[in-house]
Homo-oligomer: A and B are copies of this chain.
Amino acid sequence: MARHGEGTTVESRSSRRRQREREQRRETILHAAEALFAGGGYHATSIEQIADQAEISVGSVYLYFRSKEDILVHLLEEISLQLRAVVGREFQREQPTLESFARAGRAFLEGFCGQSYPSLVILLRESVGQGPAVEQRRRELFTGLNDDIASALTEVSRSMGLAPRSPRSTELIAFAIIGMFERVAYQYLIWGDRGEELPTVAEELATLVLGGVGGMLRRAEEQRGGEGARQCG
């Protein structure tokens, strides 16, 4: 329908603007929901509240999201990206070392939790136990995170001159690392009202994790050696 060369431009301009506005609106809803879910809880938050907060109508929410659950799923989507960006960065810069885990831990606590407390609350509290679709997304998130960490672990243990461990060992260590940070974040940030201690805790935990991961890697090594020996015998 657009005529002449510029027609296209005009059309694509307005269409791009539309697209941008649409994205913005989506984000607005998502952030309104994030704040409300984190503040009052997923179930205690009604669609009407979200609409009010986002300064749109109830019906409009459904132009951007299929259902209330869908909002939560997309929130997890965003959190997943944030999280892997913050944490993954530490492993991607160069050859990861044991120190990378300490840095990644600090990044998680200070870069992620500290920057976006609502995200943390949704990740660790509000998205838990809220139905299968949400659970599925959480699972993917954690699996992805675990893969990142497991890869780094493999690299690190190789660079430490440790023999390659079984895939499950690596997986387990990765989950263990995630779990440590999860619980610490939950205790200190969600339950703790101890935000001011965050830097100290981050520092201390980073140090501890260094020892813990180092110890686990070595232990896995020994165990494997033992197994090997036993098998040889």
Which residues of A are interface residues toward B (Cβ below 8 A)? Answer: 41-44, 124-131, 135, 139, 142, 146, 168-169, 172-173, 175-176, 178-184, 187, 191, 200-201, 204-205, 207-220, 222-223
Partner of A216, one of B135, B215, B223: B215
Also in contact, A215 and B220, with CB within 8 A (given A139-B191, A184-B176):
no
Nearest-Cβ distance from residue A227 to partner chain B, whole angstroms:
10
Closest to A44 in B: B131
CB <8 Å contact, A211 and B204: no
For the complex of A and B, list the 9 residue pairs with the smallest distance between their C-beta atoms, beginning with the closest.
Answer: A215-B215, A211-B219, A179-B183, A211-B215, A128-B128, A179-B179, A176-B180, A212-B212, A212-B216
Cross-chain contact A180 with B175 (CB below 8 angstroms): yes
Contacts A/B (CB < 8 Å), 18 sampled:
A43-B43, A43-B131, A124-B128, A129-B129, A135-B191, A139-B191, A168-B204, A172-B205, A173-B208, A175-B183, A176-B183, A176-B184, A176-B208, A178-B183, A204-B223, A207-B223, A212-B215, A212-B216
Say yes or no: B191 contacts A220, CB within 8 Å. Answer: no
Could you list 13 further interchain pairs (A-B, Cβ under 8 angstroms) beyond the known A128-B129, A179-B180, A215-B218? Answer: A125-B135, A169-B208, A172-B204, A172-B205, A175-B180, A178-B183, A179-B179, A179-B181, A180-B180, A182-B183, A211-B217, A211-B219, A214-B219
A202 CA to B161 CA, complexed, in Å: 26
